[in-house]
Amino acid sequence: DYYILACFSRRVYTRDGRPVESIVPSPKGRTIFANIFDLYGKDNAGIFNVTRDLSKTLGKSYLRYVIGMPSYNVIDAETAEMILTDQKSTIAKGLVYNFLHPALKTGLLTSTGDKWHARRRMLTPTFHFNILGQFQEIFRAESLKFVQQFSTQDESIVSLSELIPRFTLNCICETAMGVKLDEMAEKGDRYRESFRMIDQSFVRRLSNPFFRSNTIYNLFAAKDYAPFLKVAHDFSSEIITKRRILLEEELDYRRSTQTADDDIFISRHKRFAMLDTLICAEKDGLIDHAGICEEVDTLMFEGYDVSSICLIFTLMNLSLYPDKQELCFEEIEQHIEDDFSNLDINQMSKLKYLEYFIKESMRLYPPVPLIARQTVQETELANGLILPRSTQIYIHTFDIHRNPRHWDAPNEFRPERFLPGNSQNRSICAYIPFSAGQRNCIAQKFAMNEMKTLMTVILKKFRILPLIDPKTIVFHMGITLRIKNNIRVKLVRRK
């Protein structure tokens, strides 16, 4: 086939001269311009489905040629492992993360090289086991506040899509930022709305090849999103200002009450917000105000949006599989007191089935359905392909998690897949909701604890009944997994 613009694209080739097609198929594009316009003009559901359909029809990872560069689309665990665990540092974050720069600048998620290393080192201790243990109090309080809304009725219809993001935003603000959102609830709602628009700008750039260029995007589209970016950035600035004041007050208090062997920052009695680490690092000259802003924007976005998607689907699945819901409930009854007084990290680690349930939910509905990388120099893969510099690599977690090569009856919901005995022979990267390798999610345990806590509190008090047929779910493309539907469940109070 002769493709006009693809002629300008660097080509993938093989080490031993075998035809590339003998290793990876290259589907035909919609136009004569290779795959450049494959997504153009499609709505959010259409964009999401292009890659789903290709993975079903081709059954293996495949190549596409877009403007000036190949894109390698990965739907199998072995190739994902080669990419995510690359030791030669020839693979970095993909170009699409640049689309997030207006919102997140170059925070932990989007930065690379030395800057990323330094920031990861700075933030890793804030996810330490001891710190997470202290956040548990907040998760428990927020979960109790969540169920309190329905405590007076025997039955309530709950819009998860509306209420869960509010819960996760409260949790991340209070844990990571050390600021209670109560008196800022309305601003919180506007912040979440603004992120919906930022998500739209991401999809627009993904689907329209012209908007991949920063210059064209800035000239013709950026102004549509400027007001929403301002809302998001003003919100995080307000949080930083509030925390600066609170931290100063807290440090003054600690200085006045400190004993000789107390660590002033990680005191046994006081919680430690992640934002405090950044503010203290600023005092040491390790980060500036702009740096703090980008990390706060990143943690807030990841912290509220991604966890809420996971919770929405997990609660929906509890409603759809009553037998498995009962198994979760029995386990909770066995380990957690009725007044939740022992709902701490140690006790929660005993809720194994609940964890398998969440994991299975993330398998079928991975909150981050796509991870993108690119080669920074010509890179040879173990399967014999030689990827030229700037090859975009898209790891389709959604498809890997449903690939029949890795999963029996992939569309069936079976938490038992995650029993230790059933996971042994699985490829490492067959299951990557939190990604893998050095750029994996820094907050996996944080997210798991938050989700387990809310589910425990809900299940102890309510039975969850379904109000949605999963076959009607329409997925949308987004930075994270989006859906058109409003997911609702019915909560029925347990006697």
> Where does this chain touch ligand HEM (CB under 6 A) — which range of 16-24, 39-47, 68-76, 303-311?
303-311
What is the x/- site pattern for ligand HEM, positions 85-124, by CB under 6 A? -----------------------xx----------x----
Scanning the structure block, which residue is given the tokens 């498809």? Answer: 399
Q: Residue ranges of the alpha helices (H) in 124-159?
A: 129-148
Please list, in sequence order, all residues whose beta carbon lies within 8 angstroms of the beta carbon of residue 412, skipping any fewer than 6 positions away. none
Which of 214, 267, 427, 435 forms a contact with ligand HEM (CB under 6 A)?
A: 435
The two structure tokens encoding residue 453: 């806590």
- Burial (CB count within 10 angstroms: exposed 0-12, middle 13-18, buried 19+), residue 382: exposed
Residue type, 467: L
Q: How far is the CB of 306 from ligand HEM (least distance, A)?
A: 4
Q: Is 447 in the site for ligand HEM (CB under 6 A)?
A: yes
Closest to 156 measured CA to CA, from 468, 490, 465: 490
Q: How far is the CB of 96 from ligand HEM (least distance, A)?
A: 9
Which of 292, 310, 312, 345 forms a contact with ligand HEM (CB under 6 A)?
A: 310
The two structure tokens encoding residue 317: 């699945």
Q: Is 299 in the site for ligand HEM (CB under 6 A)?
A: yes
Q: How far is the CB of 442 from ligand HEM (least distance, A)?
A: 5
Sign of the C-alpha dihedral computed for residues 332, 333, 335 and 336 taken in this order? positive
**Which helix H or strand E contains 482, and what residues bound it?**
strand 482-483
Residue with smaller CB distance to ligand HEM, 5 or 305: 305
The two structure tokens encoding residue 447: 């997210």
Q: Which residues pair with 490 in a beta bridge?
A: 157, 465
What is the x/- site pattern for ligand HEM, positions 175-214, by CB under 6 A? -x--------------------------------------
Q: How far is the CB of 126 from ligand HEM (least distance, A)?
A: 9
| Closest CB to ligand HEM: residue number | 441
The two structure tokens encoding residue 21: 């097609």
Q: Is 306 in the site for ligand HEM (CB under 6 A)?
A: yes
Residue with smaller CB distance to ligand HEM, 273 or 371: 371
CA–CA dist 386, 11 (Å, integer): 9
Q: How far is the CB of 472 from ligand HEM (least distance, A)?
A: 24
Sign of the C-alpha dihedral computed for residues 448, 179, 302 and 126 taken in this order? negative
CA–CA dist 405, 430 (Å, integer): 9
Q: Is 446 in the site for ligand HEM (CB under 6 A)?
A: yes
Closest to 172 measured CA to CA, from 311, 291, 36, 359: 311
Residue with smaller CB distance to ligand HEM, 58 or 118: 118
Residue with smaller CB distance to ligand HEM, 198 or 371: 371
Residue with smaller CB distance to ligand HEM, 122 or 447: 447
Q: Is 442 in the site for ligand HEM (CB under 6 A)?
A: yes
| Interactions with ligand HEM, residue window 269-298 (CB under 6 A) | 298
Q: Is 371 in the site for ligand HEM (CB under 6 A)?
A: yes
Q: For ligand HEM, how many residues bind (rule: CB under 6 A)?
A: 24
Q: Is 439 in the site for ligand HEM (CB under 6 A)?
A: yes
Q: Is 302 in the site for ligand HEM (CB under 6 A)?
A: yes
Q: How far is the CB of 367 from ligand HEM (least distance, A)?
A: 4
Which of 126, 170, 236, 307 forms a contact with ligand HEM (CB under 6 A)?
A: 307
Q: Are 72 and 24 in contact (CB under 8 A)?
A: yes
Scanning the structure block, which residue is given the tokens 């930065």? Answer: 111
| Interactions with ligand HEM, residue window 324-353 (CB under 6 A) | none
| Structure letter (DSSP) for residue 235 | H
175 backbone dihedrals φ, ψ, rounded to 5°: -80, -60
Question: What number of CA atoms fall less than 13 Å from residue 408's CA on the CB side?
Answer: 9
Q: Are 232 and 191 in contact (CB under 8 A)?
A: yes
Could you list the beta-strand ranges (E) of 302-351: none
Q: Is 433 in the site for ligand HEM (CB under 6 A)?
A: yes
Residue with smaller CB distance to ligand HEM, 75 or 442: 442
CA–CA dist 9, 12 (Å, integer): 9
Q: Is 367 in the site for ligand HEM (CB under 6 A)?
A: yes
Please list, in sequence order, all residues whose beta carbon lies within 8 angstroms of the beta carbon of residue 483, skipping any fewer than 6 positions away. 161, 473, 474, 475, 476
> Where does this chain touch ligand HEM (CB under 6 A) — which range of 40-48, 236-244, 366-374, 484-492?
366-374
> Where does this chain touch ligand HEM (CB under 6 A) — which range of 143-151, 301-309, 318-326, 464-472?
301-309
Q: Can you give the binding site for ligand HEM, defined by CB under 6 A?
A: 108-109, 120, 172, 176, 298-299, 302-303, 306-307, 310, 367-368, 371, 433-435, 439, 441-443, 446-447
